[in-house]
Amino acid sequence: MQGGKAPEDARDPHAYSNGLRFNDRDLQRLHLMDQHIYKAFIVDHLERVFDADHEYTAYKLQAWIGRDYNKFALHSEGHIKEGDLNAHTELYWSHAYAAYWDSLLGVRFDHGHKDRQWLAAGVQGLAPYMFEVTAKAFIDSDARVAAKVEVKRELLFTQDLELEPKLEAKAFSSKDQDFNEGAGLADVSAALRLKYHIKPEFAPYIGVKWQQKFGETADMAKANQQSTASTQWVAGISFWF
């Protein structure tokens, strides 16, 4: 009967193993694919940014370690302008809840002229037609909510030459005067990066970015005599290992 005890005259499972047994020094128990630990470090971009008034360095990276279903993930992006670092660092528990999709739960730390801490949650994955989608929501100690959505896609001209379009939008539940962020839709940015893969894991690129501010965020920029729209040229590298 299935699930019952083997009969007394059943074949010894170790009879043809030449004395080797699982968990002995000479024969360790096999590990299935979902029991292995994987890790990755990916720099989406490390670039020099050129606009009408400034020139500065920007970066965006992610790293993770774990098994197929559960991982510890790090997401970070920021820029260094005139020697000052402004950055967002996010730490997540990442869980694969569906094919091609992970849920994210963790914390976010903002570093700059004023530090902030947030609780963070979101999803990331591969949508139909090979669109890479990341959607995140954040809430700080003052119950202020922020949201960010990013969509990008890789368009291959050859095995080495690739065009990467990206669209990103940010929104906030209330105004933050210290960070020049207004309630509602704050800004939308679009970028095109043309990459040439010297190796599959290493690609220099050039590109262009556009950004448009909206609503209260645009009004605050005008009050500070800042532009509500910008065009920036970029040159940099992306790599992973």
- Mean of the per-residue pLDDT values for the chain? 91
pLDDT in the model for residue 209: 97
Three-state secondary structure string covering the chain: CCCCCCCCCCCCCCCCCCCCCCCECCECCCCCHHHCCEEEEEEEEEEEEECCCCEEEEEEEEEEEECCCEEEEEEEEEEEECCEEEEEEEEEEEEEEECCEEEEEEEEEEECCCCEEEEEEEEEEEEHHHEEEEEEEEEECCCCEEEEEEEECCEECCCCEEEEEEEEEEEECCCEHHHCECCEEEEEEEEEEEEECCECCEEEEEEEEEEEECHHHHHHHHHCCCCCEEEEEEEEEEEEC
Pairing of strands 184-196, 70-81: unpaired
CATH class belonging to 36-240? mainly beta
Mean pLDDT of 78-93: 94
pLDDT in the model for residue 13: 66
Could you report the per-residue pLDDT of 174-183, keeping only the tens digit for each? 999 888 899 9
Could you report the per-residue pLDDT of 207-224, keeping only the tens digit for each? 999 999 999 999 999 998
Could you report the per-residue pLDDT of 22-68, keeping only the tens digit for each? 665 666 666 676 678 999 999 999 999 998 878 999 999 999 999 98
Chain centroid offset of residue 104 CA? 10
Could you report the per-residue pLDDT of 185-196, keeping only the tens digit for each? 999 999 999 999
The rounded distance, in Å, linking the Cα atoms of 34 and 141 is: 37
**Token pair listed for 158:** 């050859």
Question: pTM value?
Answer: 0.85
Q: Give percent of the chain with pLDDT exceeding 90.
A: 76
Extents of the domains making up the chain = 36-240
**Token pair listed for 74:** 């790090």
pLDDT band, very low/low/confident/very high, at 240 (cuts 50, 70, 90): very high
pLDDT in the model for residue 61: 98
pLDDT in the model for residue 21: 65
Could you report the per-residue pLDDT of 144-164, keeping only the tens digit for each? 999 999 999 999 999 999 999
pLDDT at 15 over 90: no
